[in-house]
């Protein structure tokens, strides 16, 4: 049985050491670099005479991500987290600025020239049911990116990945609706790992799961990042999960990065007012116990 992590404890020293070692062995250049990235959207027009208003989703983002790093991106809804990772993954283009992957500029490349990015960067999405084709078997789902990239032996790779994510070999012939939410997310992770990526982007990967299985999926994710020597970009509203998984944290607010640094330093000594407010608003076990004790004290006089 998978050991349940104590969410809220800092990432283990071994994990930080692995990340540092991976960075040192690959070289000083970042795997992803964003320079002065701006993304503006125009909302639909509400008048025949005036164009729709412009929304500035990202405002001059500068970000370097090293090989082997475990980067957590946190912030409230609308802070620009999802927009940023879509740009880093080449799923959208910035209005201005530059993004490079392994030293190659990707912002001006057409989609047909991004095959290297589709191979080396993969994503795990929030809702596994909506990201898996219900008409395809698990085997076909995992094989799909392998076939597109011309992998020589996709069947063997499917069996290897099912074992890696803790699913039986018989799961290959079943369909997504035949699995639980946690198992479907394991299938999504297997699909993301199939083309041997260098970077794994996890966008709220456990927020749609039951609390009872979140820790199991997070433990699996941590083990796979270590086993496959991946760079992890982890986006979440749950600050305790980010603290558990990541060695570096970026805090976003209103389309800007307001604070960044080592996880322990950010969580224990935040400097920006928004970061302090975000951490103060996050529920903790101590707060939950205090609320429980207060409710119990209010009920006891009534029972007497």
In a domain, 250, yes or no: yes
Length of the chain: 304
271 touches 282 (CB < 8 A): no
**pLDDT tens-place string over residues 145-180:** 888 777 777 888 899 999 999 999 999 999 999 999
Does a structural domain hold residue 246?
Answer: yes
Q: What strands lie across the sheet with 248-253, from one edge to the other?
A: 121-124, 199-203, 231-235, 70-74, 248-253, 256-262
Residue 7 covered by a domain? no
User: Is residue 267's pLDDT more than 80?
Assistant: yes
Query: How confident is the model over 195-227, as pLDDT tens digits?
Result: 999 999 999 888 878 877 888 889 999 999 999
Q: Is residue 192 part of a domain?
A: yes
Tell me the C-alpha to C-alpha distance, in Å, between residue 29 and each of 11, 80, 179, 281: 24, 25, 41, 36
CATH number (domain holding residue 212): 3.40.50.300
Which residues does 194 contact at the CB level (< 8 Å), separation at least 6? 142, 143, 145, 146, 151, 154, 157, 158, 161
Residue 231 within any structural domain of the chain: yes
Q: Does residue 304 sit within a domain?
A: no
**4 in any annotated domain:** no
The answer to whether residue 6 is domain-embedded is no
State what percent of residues in the chain have pLDDT above 70.
Answer: 84
Residue 17 confidence (pLDDT) = 42
CB neighbours of residue 19 within 10 Å: 25
pLDDT band at 238 (very low <50, low <70, confident <90, very high): confident
How many structural domains are present in the chain?
1
- The pTM score is 0.81
User: Whose CA is closest to 231, among 14, 15, 19?
Assistant: 19
User: What is the domain extent for residue 222?
Assistant: 13-298
């Amino acid at each position: 049985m998978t050991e349940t992590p104590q969410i809220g404890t800092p990432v283990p020293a071994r994990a930080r050491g692995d990340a540092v070692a991976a960075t040192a062995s690959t070289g000083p250049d970042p795997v992803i670099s964003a320079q002065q990235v701006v993304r503006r959207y125009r909302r639909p027009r509400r008048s025949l005479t005036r164009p729709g208003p412009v929304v500035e989703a990202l405002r001059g983002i500068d970000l370097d991500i090293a090989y082997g790093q475990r980067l957590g991106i946190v912030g409230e809804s609308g802070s620009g987290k999802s927009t940023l990772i879509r740009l880093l993954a080449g799923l959208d283009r910035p209005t201005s600025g530059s993004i490079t992957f392994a030293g190659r500029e990707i912002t001006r490349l057409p989609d047909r020239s991004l095959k290297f990015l589709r191979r080396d960067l993969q994503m795990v999405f929030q809702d596994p049911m909506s990201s898996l084709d219900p008409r395809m078997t698990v085997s076909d789902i995992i094989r799909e990116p392998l076939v597109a990239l011309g992998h020589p032996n996709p069947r063997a790779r499917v069996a290897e990945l099912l074992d890696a994510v803790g699913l039986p070999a018989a799961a290959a012939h079943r369909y997504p609706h035949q699995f639980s939410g946690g198992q479907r997310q394991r299938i999504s992770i297997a699909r993301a790992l199939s083309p041997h990526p260098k970077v794994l982007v996890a966008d709220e990967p456990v927020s749609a799961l039951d609390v009872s299985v979140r820790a199991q999926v997070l433990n699996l994710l941590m083990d796979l990042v270590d086993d496959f020597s991946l760079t992890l970009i982890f986006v979440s509203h749950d600050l305790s999960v980010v603290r558990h998984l990541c060695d570096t944290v970026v805090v976003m607010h209103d389309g800007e990065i307001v604070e960044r640094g080592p996880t322990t330093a950010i969580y224990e000594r935040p400097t920006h007012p928004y970061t302090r407010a975000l951490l103060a608003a996050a529920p903790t076990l101590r707060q939950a116990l205090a609320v429980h004790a207060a409710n119990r004290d209010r009920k006891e006089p009534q029972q007497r």
